[in-house]
Amino acid sequence: MWIESTIALKFLRQGFAQTLLILVGIGVGVAVIVFIVTLVGGLQENIVSRTLGTQAHIKVEPQQEVNLIAPALDNQVRLVRQDERAQRLRSINNWQQVLQSMEKIPTVTAASPVVSGPAFARRGQALKSILVIGIEPERYEKIISIGDNIVAGEFKVSAGNTVIGSVLAKDLGVRIGGKLRLETGDNQTAVLTITGIFELGVRELDSRYVYLELKQAQALLGLFGGVTVIDLTVSDIFAASLVADRIDRLTALKAESWMQTNSELMNALKSQSLSSNLISFFVALSVALGIASVLAISVTQRTREIGILRAMGARRAQMLRVFLIQGALLGLSGSFAGAGVGWVMVWVFNEYGPGLFDIRPSVTIVPIAVTVATIAGVLAAIAPAWRASRLDPVAAIRYV
Amino acid sequence: MSESISANESVLRLQDLRKCYNLGLPTEVEVLHGLNMTLRAHDFCALVGPSGSGKSTLLNLIGLLDQPTDGELFITDIATRHLEDEERTLLRRENIGFVFQFHHLIEAFNAQENVLMPLMVKSGKPNDEQQAWAAQLLEAVGLKGFEGKKPSELSGGQQQRVAIARALVTRPALLLADEPTGNLDTQTAANIFELLRKFNQDFDCAVLIVTHDARLSQTCDRTITLVDGRITEDVRHTLDKQNP
């Protein structure tokens, strides 16, 4: 391979302007791919982390209650008109055992029992509809980090203490140390001290979520000792649906992943990925076509040299390799330069861009881009290299 | 590099060699009509004839760059007509050296590298012995000190001398030269001929030169005349050689 590599390098060096031009072309293409893939990846990561910052990866709940209908007898057709059952607040049976089972699933990183139900918050004449969420704070922090989003006070949820959203605090005109009276439909009431105010950045949550200690919430909602939901986080967020399906199959409970509850978001993410992949594919294709056309021209320019080398005893396979190596060298060096430029573009975006979110190039993007570009270079070189190897030496030597 | 061949051994033998173009088409034309000839190890032979007589076609066939339509062509007693391209390439690089009318050096390489090219395509990076041999050949053609020059930095005569050194670097059994002095002035042409003659004697290398120059052809040991694809004359100019 030494002589083939030497000839390939000398040919590329001799046609320096042509080589430089195609290297710039490959470099720009690879830089665009690195930047677009990083940008879209960063954007998606940002959207997902913001979405999952306020919700569990998987919610495990009791199945919905349905009417029991006796099966039809043989040779009978039964027409049924029914009203769906109203869904009352129900606890997960044996939730402690269920919780332990969930924690044993290898991909589950955290599990937290939650009891939640509707209530009203009253202060003076003001009455607001809220969602009571009873939690074990230490466990729940691993699902949604309320502590990181506290804007006043501290995340201290214990008997008689509550943490509420910033919008609700503003609507009711309360502050840290103030009292909040909660009422449920079953005439249960509780008066709590506000120890913290959080802001998750989602208006619906900031205006309705009221965190209570688990036992106090159970008493308030009339579900003594029960929990309505078990929240889970998993190690691979995009495998959440698989874990949820597994829980669905193995238990009599309903498990729903964040991907199912945010199906529109998932569609948007998939569309983004598709666009990014399509852009990358077409840029890579145009880079490959650029290499192919430059090498096709090179074969024509080098026709006489190919004939001379053949007359000197160069084999067809050697001529084939000369041009395949040229394709690989162009792809390799162009993509290295392009990956560097792409990296700089990412840095410029982070330093001088809109500042909405930071993007971090994946450590794998450069080796992948370089490998793909080199393979594309070799593939693009196949046709010109084949033509070079099949040239008739007599005609090639005479070529002017 | 080819093994040494004794003076009486045939380096090249043609047996009813025919070459047609456009075979089977209405435009079919036969350019070589059943040629027979033999070239031995010490032969220094000129191939002459008018334009269109088939000299270059014959040289391409002998150089295994083209294939005959019929007959047989032996290089060092190896029948070549039915050889695959790969086998012909290997036989060519082991036994045949080429000198073209237009030197046909490769501009991307310097003089020394051009001389080494046949060895490099055969066995890769040249070793010290091969480098020394190439330098020795360049010195023999009067180009000592020009090793690092690119072809474009050399005169026409110097380029042709590099081409001769390149043709000899593999110590071929047969050297083919297609009008090697066609583009050179009379004095340079005579020098090139002298060089070819010297190598013919020093290396036991049969030389076949296509030339239009009657004066130069007279300086060869033997002149073969080709007219309309037929050998019309095969004359030895010296008496101490065997009959062809």
Give the pLDDT band of residue B147 (cuts 50, 70, 90). confident
Q: What's the pLDDT tens digit per position in B84-131?
A: 888 888 888 888 888 877 768 888 889 999 999 988 888 888 888 888
Asked if A314's CB is within 8 angstroms of B108's CB, the reply is no
Between CA B77 and CA B86, with CA B82 as vertex, the angle to 5 degrees is: 90
Instruction: Kindly report the average pLDDT of chain B as a whole number.
Output: 82
Predicted ipTM > 0.95: no
CATH of domain B10-105+154-236: 3.40.50.300
Nearest C-alpha of chain B: how many angstroms from A363? 38
* CATH class of the domain whose range is A95-251: mainly beta
Nearest to B108 among A14, A310, A318 (CB): A14
% of chain B at pLDDT higher than 90: 3
At residue A167, the pLDDT reads: 93
> Coil, helix or strand for A268?
helix
Q: Answer whether residue A118 shows pLDDT above 70.
A: yes
Q: What's the pLDDT tens digit per position in A310-361?
A: 887 888 888 889 888 988 888 889 888 998 898 888 888 888 878 777 788 7
Q: How many alpha carbons fall within 13 Å on the CB side of residue A168?
A: 34
pTM of the predicted structure, to 2 decimals? 0.69
Q: Which of A48, A168, A85 is nearest to A120 (CA)?
A: A168
Nearest C-alpha of chain B: how many angstroms from A386? 15
More confident residue, A357 or A126: A126
Helix and strand numbers, DSSP H then E, in chain B: 7, 10
Chain A residues whose CB is inside 8 A of the B108 CB are 7, 10-11, 13-14, 305
Q: What's the pLDDT tens digit per position in B48-79?
A: 888 888 888 888 889 888 888 888 889 888 88
Contact in structure between A288 and A379 (CB atoms under 8 Å): yes
Nearest residue of chain B to residue A302 (CA atoms): B106
At residue B121, the pLDDT reads: 85
> Coil, helix or strand for B103?
coil
Q: What's the pLDDT tens digit per position in B221-243?
A: 888 888 888 888 888 876 444 44
Asked if A304's CB is within 8 angstroms of B124's CB, the reply is no
Asked if B124's CB is within 8 angstroms of A313's CB, the reply is no
- Paired with A128 in beta bridges are A121
Asked if A397's CB is within 8 angstroms of B108's CB, the reply is no
Average of pLDDT values for B163-170? 86
Q: Answer whether residue A183 shows pLDDT above 60.
A: yes
Would an 8 Å CB–CB cutoff place A318 in contact with chain B? yes
Task: For chain A, give every residue range classified as CATH 2.40.40.20.
Answer: 95-251
Asked if B89's CB is within 8 angstroms of A314's CB, the reply is yes
Q: Which of A355, A277, A332 is nearest to A27 (CA)?
A: A332
At residue B213, the pLDDT reads: 76
Q: Rounded to an integer, what distance in angstroms lies between the CA atom of residue A184 and that of residue B114? A: 96
